[in-house]
Structure 1
Amino acid sequence: MNYLFNEIIDRKDGLGLKWNHLEQAFGSEEILPMWVADMDYANPQPIIDSLKKVLDGRILGYTAPPESLYNAIIHWQKERHQMELSKDSILFSPGVVPSIALIIQALTNEQDAILIHDPVYTPFSNMITLNKRRLVRSPLLIENNQFKMNFKDIEKKIIEEKVKLFILCNPQNPGGRVWSKKELTTLAELCKKHGVLIISDEIHGDLIFSPHQFTSLVTLDPSYQDFVLTLSAATKTFNIAGVKLSMIYIQNPKLYEQVSYYQECIEHSGLNTFGYVATETAFSKCEPWLKELMINLSDNLETITTCFDTELPNVSYMKPEGTYLFWFDCSSLRLTDEELMEHFVRVGKIALNSGAAYGPGGSQYLRLNFAAPKELVEEGLKRIKLAFEN
């Protein structure tokens, strides 16, 4: 089936952040946006049809999550990730970042230490500091152009800082690592040993390149259910970020009660009708679309790595094992992080994410979003090459 992944859709003059806030973010509208992590692909047709059906009802009143939505989520997680869920272990949230904030508020106190990797998805650190918790970073190692966890440093930080919570990104954003079972087990055992809770952000868990295999942390040992809270959504996988719905899976009844109670206190659980409908449709009807998507993303990734290997052989990069994000080193340009961004905007006419935003360990890197029609990816590569050559 042809899902038109090479159709170029005009996203300008709409509400989308990626294409319509370039002046505010980069100081120019005449650039190619390959930054914000949503896709430049049309949504799966079953999702569009299901949302149209809601509108055809002509009344947008209050709603609640139906049993069929719970069933779709439970089936998806069991079949794809071997996660055993029940309705009573699922909470809904507007998004992964709001979920992180909610859990921080519900399960930690002000000035408690929370540990994250460096570099890692920017909102992790933002939610920690905005909620007046102490931010602790463990720098990732780089071996064979891939991130590796520094377990000695992690345990040292846990002990010295009296860490209460670890926030994990799996698959890793921005580097695209899909953590192995051995790595995940080692991390979980350290946290178990020292009484540290884990938030496992697994929103990219369905976007995995062969032969790599994603493992949900909580599935590795039944005891991990006692201290691991898993965050997931259909939004990244099926390009529906705008419907604002994600899930928190908590299999420890006590932790579930604590988070659920705090959610009620701040009226955090009244969610979007379209989010319920789109998520259920995604998990129940759109797996064929996902298979086609991964073929397209794999092809784009091959195009990118071939370009870097042949046209920019002195530029190192991390080939992602998952996600649709490409992380590459720009230190050869000998520019500051601020000058680097300005250079790619001014010379390359392209909008990318600054690596420095992901923590000190991201300095001198840029992040490219390659979930776009091949024509746009090829144009983006021309602009990146131009920036390196000038």
Structure 2
Amino acid sequence: MKLALNPRVAELEESATLKINQTAKRMREAGEDLCHLGFGESPFPVPELLQQALRENTHHKSYLPGPGLPQLREAVAGFFRKEFGYDAAMERVFIGPGSKELLFDLLYLLEGPLLVPAPSWVSYGPQARMLGKSVQPIPTLRENRYRLQAEELERACQESGSGQKLLILTNPSNPTGSVHHTQELQELAEVCRRHQVVVIADEIYALVNFSERPFVGMATLYPEGTVVTSGLSKAFSAGGWRLGVALLPEAMSELLQPWGALVSETFSCTSAPIQYAAIPAFAEYEKLRQEVEHCVAIHRAATKGMWQTLLGIGLNCPEPEGAFYLFPDFEPFREQLASRNIRTSNDLATRLLEDAKVAVLPGAAFYMLPGHLSVRLSPVDYNGNALQAGTDFDAMFPKMAEAVQRIGVFSVSEISELR
């Protein structure tokens, strides 16, 4: 029997980030000397406080309330009030099996086309298309470090017509590492108010901020129209635990009932032991602050160090201010690359993997035009257990220094010279 598939998923491909991670693992298992810059997973261990909490709560086996464990929701609300000044309340917090699932829920619950700055994280567009939404990438500029500007959003809103619109804003940014300035967010908020824009603020990297400015989120400047999502995956290095959180503003309280109903008919609840184990991350953050800040200092050294070396080999790359990503482009080498039949970011990423043994992701996966010779790098190919913060990039991160060297040779050399 030939199955008839839903046309919205028939051509759906595996997430580019997960796909490159599995490819890299297979290559390393096969003995390939690979530099893996393709997957954004923190290399540090989960804090011992959380590991101990998980060990102590493995006996919890019963279903929990769909929106989440009340003690955890209260802890999350308190954390976001204290750390970021948000108007967070327990009854408006949702817990999910990763923030990715909560993002999908929000796209399901809210009407309107999705506006997504280009570049942005790979999964927003596919999720929206699965739900039958139109996806409108908004081009941004390297000279603005790819931060969305008010005039760019204004133009996109006018092009998308009247009615409610959705905007996902990742801050700090995946894939660029940029962090929005307060003035920029204020100007974006004004546009959002004029055009009925609901903002989904993906702030999974908010604690991984090494700019000189304190982090300011969209919910501070546009509280009535912003839903915040976050979780344990990045700052707490617990991606595999699959624990995400979402904060609704009071002005969106009408979402509480339908979202609770949606959860009850889909994933029911997030893993009970994981929810109990997550409580200290938010309720006892002061005990973890020094450890998190230590990890952020190393992320800064890795990301800033690689940025400087990329500039040194002639690539264009905006300076990172948070998260653990870089978004260089190879425009200075376009002619040399074209002579080797490398004309798109997909060509570039494929050949870097095949010829230089460096795993990266193409800019096209992040909504850039195919001919834009950009890639995303995740400078996390090191053992987080064995590092102390320092300033010598080559000494601290030898594998990543080697990756940049390979990229530099690849940019100007024929394939035969790499082998």
Structure 2 length-normalised TM: 0.79
1:108-146 residue CA offsets vs partner (Å, 9 max, x unmatched): 1xxx422111121111111111110111121112216x1
Q: Which residue of 2 aligns with 1:115?
A: 115
Distance 1:210 1:107, change over 3 A: closer
Q: Which residue of 2 aligns with 1:3?
A: none
- The 8 Å contact of residues 34 and 369 in structure 1, kept in 2 or not, is answered as yes
Q: Which residue of 1 aligns with 2:348?
A: 340
1:14-57 residue CA offsets vs partner (Å, 9 max, x unmatched): xx9775443779998622322111122222222222222234x4
Aligned amino acid, residue 354 of structure 1: P
User: What pairs with 1:143-162 in structure 2 (closer than 5 Å)?
Assistant: 143=143, 146-162=145-161
98, 102, 110: which is aligned to 1:99? 102
Cα distance, 1:169 vs. partner? 1.4
Aligned equivalents of 1:225, 1:384: Cα separation in 2? 43
Q: Which residue of 2 aligns with 1:324?
A: 324
Distance 1:343 1:28, change over 3 A: farther
Cα distance, 1:269 vs. partner? 4.4
Aligned amino acid, residue 366 of structure 1: V
Q: Which residue of 1 aligns with 2:47?
A: 44
Aligned equivalents of 1:277, 1:386: Cα separation in 2? 49
Cα distance, 1:181 vs. partner? 1.2
Aligned amino acid, residue 175 of structure 1: T
Greater alpha carbon shift after TM alignment, 340-349 vs 128-137: 340-349
Greater alpha carbon shift after TM alignment, 225-234 vs 151-160: 151-160
Distance 1:25 1:154, change over 3 A: farther
Aligned equivalents of 2:71, 2:325: Cα separation in 1? 32
Q: Which residue of 1 aligns with 2:15?
A: none
Cα distance, 1:214 vs. partner? 1.6
296, 299, 305: which is aligned to 1:297? 299
SS at match of 2:142: strand
Aligned amino acid, residue 301 of structure 1: T
Aligned equivalents of 2:48, 2:212: Cα separation in 1? 28
358, 378, 382: which is aligned to 2:366? 358
Aligned equivalents of 1:318, 1:86: Cα separation in 2? 37
- The 8 Å contact of residues 171 and 202 in structure 1, kept in 2 or not, is answered as yes
Is 1:386 paired with 2:371? Answer: no
Cα distance, 1:354 vs. partner? 1.4
Greater alpha carbon shift after TM alignment, 129-138 vs 266-275: 266-275
SS at match of 2:269: coil
Distance 1:290 1:243, change over 3 A: same
Cα distance, 1:92 vs. partner? 1.2
Q: Which residue of 1 aligns with 2:278?
A: 279
Distance 1:343 1:280, change over 3 A: same
Aligned equivalents of 1:40, 1:17: Cα separation in 2? 18
Aligned equivalents of 2:398, 2:223: Cα separation in 1? 44
Is 1:82 paired with 2:88? Answer: no
Gaps of 5+ in 2: 1-17, 383-396, 414-419
Distance 1:262 1:226, change over 3 A: farther
- The 8 Å contact of residues 243 and 274 in structure 1, kept in 2 or not, is answered as no
Q: Which residue of 2 aligns with 1:62?
A: 63
Distance 1:197 1:26, change over 3 A: farther
Aligned equivalents of 2:178, 2:226: Cα separation in 1? 20
Q: Which residue of 1 aligns with 2:417?
A: none
Cα distance, 1:340 vs. partner? 0.9
Q: Which residue of 1 aligns with 2:199?
A: 198
Distance 1:302 1:267, change over 3 A: closer
User: What pairs with 1:6-45 in structure 2 (closer than 5 Å)?
Assistant: 20-22=22-24, 30=32, 31-45=34-48
Identity of aligned residues (%): 20
- The 8 Å contact of residues 345 and 351 in structure 1, kept in 2 or not, is answered as yes
User: What pairs with 1:360-375 in structure 2 (closer than 5 Å)?
Assistant: 360-361=368-369, 363-373=372-382, 374-375=397-398
Aligned amino acid, residue 347 of structure 1: D
Aligned equivalents of 1:360, 1:70: Cα separation in 2? 37
Structure 1 length-normalised TM: 0.84
- The 8 Å contact of residues 92 and 253 in structure 2, kept in 1 or not, is answered as no
- The 8 Å contact of residues 35 and 367 in structure 1, kept in 2 or not, is answered as yes
Aligned equivalents of 2:74, 2:211: Cα separation in 1? 28
Aligned positions, number: 364
Cα distance, 1:229 vs. partner? 1.1
Aligned equivalents of 2:165, 2:27: Cα separation in 1? 35
Aligned equivalents of 2:231, 2:78: Cα separation in 1? 14
Is 1:227 paired with 2:214? Answer: no
Gaps of 5+ in 1: 1-15
Cα distance, 1:90 vs. partner? 0.3
SS at match of 1:317: coil
- The 8 Å contact of residues 138 and 157 in structure 1, kept in 2 or not, is answered as yes
Aligned equivalents of 1:187, 1:359: Cα separation in 2? 20
Distance 1:96 1:211, change over 3 A: same
Aligned equivalents of 1:262, 1:105: Cα separation in 2? 12
Aligned equivalents of 1:152, 1:282: Cα separation in 2? 38
Aligned equivalents of 1:358, 1:18: Cα separation in 2? 14
